[in-house]
Amino acid sequence: MIDTNKTQVMEFVLTGLTDHPELQLPLFLVFFVVYLITMVGNLGLIAVIWRDPHLHTPMYLFLGSLAFADACSSSSVTPKMLVNFLSKNHMISLTECITQFYIFASSANTECFLLVAMAYDRYVAICNPLLYPVVMSNIFCIQLLVVSYIIGFLHPMMHVGLLFRLTFCKSNVIHYFYCEILQLFKISCTDPGVNMLLIFVFSVFIQSFTFMTIIISYSYVLFAILKKKSENGRNKAFSTCSAHLLSVSLFYGTLFFMYVCSGSGPAENQDKMYSLFYTVIIPLLNPFIYSLRNKEVRSALRRIINK
């Protein structure tokens, strides 16, 4: 009788990054500029790759897909956060909440596997350059992309499905700036133990598998680079791979602390900083990490501007 009399919460309140009113407008301006730069950077990178025939190669196909995933990831979180900075109504429905989580989780999962595909592409290009056109054929690259997106979109469906077994009847306040799944567990009236276990298991498996694959690939690449006699070729390979590794380190570092080490109980503000980094900052940095350190992208951009 007690369970049946409980009122199911269908709307939540997002408290945001801060509860200080005087900081709302400055934070809105900062993150609005960040979001604009993020979208211009990622969509601009996709446009450059699309327009320039010189960039129609596997590496840039993966890079364009990564930029698209970053744009989706940022767009799933930032617009709602910007609205909440200026609005007194911080409500979000259960449907919107789950949709926001699903879009972000799909983008993040897809990015993990795209980074693996990019690492394998660099491994073949540098360690087996003669076989590169054969191994990294157009069909194989498309297959890698399709698999990345299928896994990326299917995996979060399981967690979304399990969210529907939870009931929210105590509090509807989410002390966060978006509908992060661990925060939903905190306000659930139903025991979220099964959900948390699966989050931990799949996070460990996916992050460990993809991260180790990337590290192994770049280890072979590093040894191959050190054997190169051409200083120009060595510098070019180092420049490309160091950009990839920087992006990988930033992305996996924050995800690891957020979802694998979540049991250690980090402070709420620390949690927000981790989330802010992989939802807002990394999508901002990625197009610049890959394009500013890449002579071919800069040359393509100059050709398009000159036209």
Q: Which of 164, 165, 195, 166 is nearest to 182 (CA)?
A: 195
Tell me: the pLDDT tens digits for 261-296?
654 444 556 677 778 888 898 999 888 887 766 777
Alpha carbon distance 208, 197 (integer Å): 16
Whose tokens are 């399709």? That residue is 146
pLDDT digits (tens, 9 = 90+) for 122-178: 899 888 888 999 999 989 999 999 999 999 999 999 999 999 888 887 788 888 889
SS3 120: helix
Q: Name which of 78, 83, 151, 138 is nearest 112 in CA terms.
A: 151
| Contact indicator for 282, 251 with CB cutoff of 8 Å | yes
**Over the chain, what is the mean pLDDT?**
85
Q: How many domains does the chain have?
A: 1
pLDDT score for 121: 92
Instruction: Using the predicted structure, report yes or no on whether residue 231 has a pLDDT greater than 80.
Output: no
Please answer whether residues 141 and 58 qualify as being in contact, where contact means their C-beta atoms are separated by less than 8 angstroms. Answer: yes
- 173 phi-psi bin (left φ>0, alpha ψ -120 to 50, beta other): beta
d(C-alpha 283, C-alpha 250), whole Å: 11
Ranking 53-67, 89-103, 229-243 by mean pLDDT, the lowest is: 229-243
Strands (DSSP E) along 169-273, which ranges? Answer: 173-174
Q: How confident is the model at residue 236 (pLDDT cuts 50, 70, 90)?
A: low
Q: Which domain holds residue 257?
A: 2-306
Which CATH number do you get for residue 137?
A: 1.20.1070.10
> Where do runs of H (alpha helix) occur along 87-192?
94-127, 132-135, 138-163, 181-186
Query: What values do phi and psi take at 12, rounded to 5?
Result: -125, 160
Task: For residues 196-210, give the mean pLDDT.
Answer: 89
